[in-house]
Each structure stands twice: as C-alpha cells, then as structure tokens.
Structure 1
C-alpha cells in the first residue's frame, strides 16, 4: 500500500519491505525529505542527505553550499518504493555553479540507510542546482513520474520530467516549465496522485 495525506507532504508505505508501514515526510514538498522507518517497538529516522554513500559525502565535502533532494515513488513499477536522489550545489547569487554530484535512482526495497538493491542513472541536461524533486502518478498506471525543478540562472527554475525506461530516467524539459522559485512552491504536484490514505498519518 502506498498513499499520501491530503496535501501531499507525507507518504505512507512499507519502504523497507519489513511488513510495517513507514512514513516519508516532506513538509515543504521540495524533496528535502525525512524517512521514519517503523517497527513494532522501535523506529529510526534518516534524512535524504544522510542517505548518501560515504564516498558521495566525502566528495561533496570539497564544495560549499551543497544540498540533497530526494523524490520517493515506484519508478520501475515493481511494487517497491524507490528514491531518486540528487546532490547539487546552490547558486552563487544569480549564477549557476553547474555541479550535481549525485543523480541516481536507488531501487527498493530500500534499507534504513536509503541504499537500494540496485542503482540506475538519471540523465540530466545540465548541472544546475536542483531546487526541488517530486514524484507523481498523474496517469494512475502505478509507475511514478519524476519532476525535477532545476536552476537555470537569474533566479529562474526550469521543470524537467522523466520516467524510468529500463536503463534509468532521462529528464526532458517540461512544456512551459519555467518558473520563479516562489511559483514552484505553489505547484500542486505531489504524492496525492498515489491516492489519499483512508486514515490520518501517525
């Protein structure tokens, strides 16, 4: 079962396939998310930034102002929740730094450190700052779409969309998908396309 709260900020699913429902919490709907893994008597919490590998953390430590974003959804339609993970460098003023050190899909079930059984690539047009990443299932086919909002300089954000096609996700510019950052915050894209939970989130 995968479902969302009404405003698309909390996803409920069995992320690690242990038989207990977990929660992905993303109150800003930006991809700056935290996963709360639940068990019968214990729970643990991990942010998408903590989910990077040791090598990824060491490499990004060389650069200032790095941020992690993650979009959770079943991208390959195998019944398990995956995470599309990005780690990129924030703009310097109105100028892109063109530095995305992580752009990958980790396929579920996910471990409690957000590692997956396998990893595939996300092909991107450029290396601008990933301001937000979201997953939807707008056509209801059970396979999540990936929406990435990436800085294009001068305060503008361009939307890219893609779907998993066997070897990874290829992002393409969305039609009419140029926004200001405040406009991105107001877009209704989110997990509510997976269906609204019939009970309140814990």
Structure 2
C-alpha cells in the first residue's frame, strides 16, 4: 500500500483540527447559553417582607431597593419572581434558576422536574431560594435522579443565582413533588416544607431547617402523607404580615 502523501496528511490534520474547534465552540456556546446572564444583586439593606393572600409575596429579592413579587399560584414550588423596575416587569421562573451543569446532567435523564420555593431560611432579612431538580416516578416506582438539592442565600441575582449556596441534606433522592416555606413559629427563620415521593402514590412530608452552612431535614420530623398537604400548611404565606394597600 502506498503511504499517503504529505499534502493528504496535512489536509486530514486540518480537518481534524476544524472538527475539534467546532466541537469546542459548540460546547462553549452551550455553557454560555446555560450559565445565565442576570445582573448581580445590589447592596440595599433588607426590606420588610409582606404577603398578598397566600400566593404572592413582596420582597426586595435582588437588594436594589425595589420590592419584587414572588408568585406561587399553585402553592407547589413551580413559581417565579417578577423583578420590578418602574413600569418594567421581568419574570424569572424557578426552572430558569438551574445552572448550566445541572441542566446538562438533567438532559441525560427523562422526566426531570424543577421545584423551588422562597423563604428567609438563615434569618438575615434577605429572601433565599430552596431549589430541587429531581426525577419523577415511573408508574408506582420511585426513581432516584436528584441532580439539585441546594439553598441559594440572598440577596439573589436576577437569574436567581447566588454567590453563597448550601446543601439541602435530604433523607433520600426520590422525586420532590411540592415545596413550601414559611416562618410558622415566628422565630425569624423560615422552615422548608417538602413533599417527597415514596412510590405507590404515597409521599413523605419533611421539615427542613437552617443548620450550619445549609438546610438539614431531620428524620424524626418526617411523616407519611397520601394525597394533598396537611391542612396547617394551606395557610402558606399568610404567616407573613399583609402588604399595605398602595
């Protein structure tokens, strides 16, 4: 067999180099696209939180001195933040809060769903985000694909990212169906209420509290539930003072 000429080798080398460069460009573009571009939060002092009914919370999420609106119309952890700038409104859903690496890992699985809820878990006056990205059940069988279980401490950027994050320490990695948060004992720190699948239509109700650099879910505060949340949690954000008319 006749060896390839030097010109053919150079041509093959250029093609390999071009293919590698295109692949790297696509990866870099995907990272840029998925990384979020929300501006960093400001340094305004915490403003008072207040509720409009049990589905709207007003808070200065990004510490710019303007009250934003946190919406959770279904009261299940599928809500959003509407950032306010005068007459301008910019909604950002909790599904948009996932980082590019979380999105990439989740893309390799099926039936992934995002849940998030907002509360002041560490008691510093800024609203924090508890975020889960987990895999829904397959029929009656639970699955254990939990990509994200983290708390992002406020103030938050306008893509809901944060410079300070912590782990939500969970008893298992099954699907997180619903989330809520509220300071029901009025100690200045919100509790995280979690409804997590155990298969066969059943669910465990967990309570998570700030613990060190994250949130811990204690096994002794877990009970089994079937169907909806227990009645005391129906109050939702009504544990906050109501917002004044304006």
| TM band (smaller chain) | over 0.9
Among 167, 177, 184, the residue aligned to 2:229: 184
User: Matched residues in 2 for 1:58 and 1:185: separation?
Assistant: 35
What TM-score comes out, normalization by structure 1 length?
A: 0.92
**1:121-140: CA deviation from partner (whole Å, max 9, x where unpaired):** 00000011100111010111
8 Å contact from structure 1 (residues 95, 154) kept in 2: yes
Q: Which runs of 5+ in 2 are unaligned?
A: 1-47
8 Å contact from structure 1 (residues 136, 189) kept in 2: no
The yes-or-no answer on 1:27 pairing with 2:39 is: no
Report 1:157-168 matches (<5 A). 157-168=203-214
Please name the residue that 1:97 is paired with: 143
Please name the residue that 1:67 is paired with: 113
- Higher strand proportion (structure 1 or 2): 1
How far is the alpha carbon of 1:43 from its aligned partner?
2.0
How far is the alpha carbon of 1:55 from its aligned partner?
0.9
Q: CA RMSD in A?
A: 1.6
**1:51-80: CA deviation from partner (whole Å, max 9, x where unpaired):** 111111111011111111111011111110
User: Matched residues in 2 for 1:32 and 1:107: separation?
Assistant: 19
User: Matched residues in 2 for 1:152 and 1:180: separation?
Assistant: 10
The yes-or-no answer on 1:133 pairing with 2:174 is: no
Report 1:74-153 matches (<5 A). 74-153=120-199
How far is the alpha carbon of 1:89 from its aligned partner?
0.6
How far is the alpha carbon of 1:42 from its aligned partner?
2.1
8 Å contact from structure 1 (residues 2, 13) kept in 2: yes
Please name the residue that 2:98 is paired with: 52
Q: Which runs of 5+ in 1 are unaligned?
A: none
What TM-score comes out, normalization by structure 2 length?
A: 0.76
Q: Provide closer, same or farther for how the CA distance between residues 145 and 176 of structure 1 changes in structure 2, counting only shifts above 3 A.
A: closer
8 Å contact from structure 1 (residues 158, 173) kept in 2: no
8 Å contact from structure 2 (residues 76, 178) kept in 1: yes
User: Matched residues in 1 for 2:156 and 2:60: separation?
Assistant: 9
**1:115-155: CA deviation from partner (whole Å, max 9, x where unpaired):** 01200000000011100111010111211111111001110
SS at match of 1:163: strand
User: Matched residues in 1 for 2:118 and 2:139: separation?
Assistant: 30
User: Matched residues in 2 for 1:107 and 1:176: separation?
Assistant: 24
Larger radius of gyration: 2
How far is the alpha carbon of 1:195 from its aligned partner?
2.1
User: Matched residues in 2 for 1:68 and 1:86: separation?
Assistant: 6
Please name the residue that 1:40 is paired with: 86
SS at match of 1:38: strand
- Higher helix proportion (structure 1 or 2): 2
Q: Provide closer, same or farther for how the CA distance between residues 189 and 151 of structure 1 changes in structure 2, counting only shifts above 3 A.
A: farther
Residue correspondences, number: 198
